[in-house]
Amino acid sequence: MKRGAFVAGAVAASIPLPAWAESLHDAVGRIAATASGFVGAYARRLGAAAPSLSYNAEIRFPAASIIKVLILVSLYQAAERNPALLARRVRLRASDMVGVTPFLAEARAGSAYAVRYLAKAMIVASDNTAANTLITLLGFDRINATARRANLRHTQLKRHFLDYAAIVRHSENLTTPHDIGALLYQIERGSHEALRTVASPHSCRAMIDLMFHQEDRDKIARGLPKGTPLANKTGEVDFVRNDVAIVDPYGDAPYVLTVLTKGLSNYADGLSAIRRIAKVVHAAIAGG
């Protein structure tokens, strides 16, 4: 038995589950056992008192680029206190530049961009230079304080993206399927129910709009019925493939799904596991 299946099975044995939820948990466990690494997943319907799925959901995983959702929340919280922040132009530092996407194709050290544009580049194209610039602007303390206030007990931002000196020191950006799922749940709840959660309803909608246009649709999206609306953020580093999403964010019955992996020796089976988990979770939640 794989380690992931063993841990999840022990947790399942200690928590009584409705029959359908237990069946979903078992189905996800069987899929996770086919991956070459370790898999965790979390799903929760809007308005549900408890998660529909919690599989290795309290285990820490390398966050990769899904931590950019936390940076985005911290940015919008700061912008609510300083409405001019999103329009402010900031200059790129050479130390923050680690390769760029087409959003910053013409960028040079010293180039200035509006904060709003950097946020778009960070989420839509997962631009690491944009993310590093926003980390520098906001500061690690502010971003990690955002995680604490949101009760993300196992989430930490410890380094800039592709900071190899920090990587050698084992300073890692970490989260859990539950933590990042809870953050997405609060963003969706704020937007859907017009409540202040981790940010104002307006800010929550703006963050969802950015994730709605995120370009990488090769993981959770591939497991959903064609055309299913999705606001997501993916992440990839060595041995890791992650995807976190709000499914049907503007519909009547949205839900959150996060699937994280680590220790993959075969990326194809990791991607397959994410897609298959998305498929069975959607069948269970959206299909009743």
Angle in degrees, 0-180, between the axes of helices 177-192 and 201-212, rounded to the nearest 10: 120
Domains of the chain (ranges; CATH) run 3-285 (3.40.710.10)
Q: Which pLDDT does position 18 carry in this prediction?
A: 54
Cβ neighbours, 10 Å, residue 13: 8
- Rg over alpha carbons for the chain, rounded to the nearest Å, is 18
Length of the chain: 288
Q: Which pLDDT does position 121 carry in this prediction?
A: 98
Closest C-alpha among 147, 42, 260 to residue 158: 147
What whole-number distance in Å separates Cα of residue 116 and Cα of residue 205? 14
Q: For the chain, 288 residues long, give each residue's pLDDT as a single digit of tens.
A: 344 443 444 343 344 545 656 799 999 999 999 999 999 999 999 998 899 999 999 999 999 999 999 999 999 999 999 999 999 999 999 999 998 799 999 999 999 999 999 999 999 999 999 999 999 999 999 999 999 999 999 999 999 998 766 665 666 999 999 999 999 999 999 999 999 999 999 999 999 999 999 999 999 999 999 999 999 999 999 999 999 999 999 999 999 999 999 999 999 999 999 999 999 999 999 985
Cβ neighbours, 10 Å, residue 209: 15
Q: Which pLDDT does position 2 carry in this prediction?
A: 43
| Phi and psi angles of residue 99, each rounded to the nearest 5 degrees, phi first | 100, 140
Widest Cα–Cα separation across the chain: 58
Q: Which pLDDT does position 288 carry in this prediction?
A: 58
Helices assigned H by DSSP within 114-265? 115-124, 128-138, 140-149, 164-168, 177-192, 201-212, 220-223
Closest C-alpha among 123, 6, 2, 4 to residue 61: 4
Q: What angle do CA 21, 279, 11 make, to 5 degrees?
A: 35
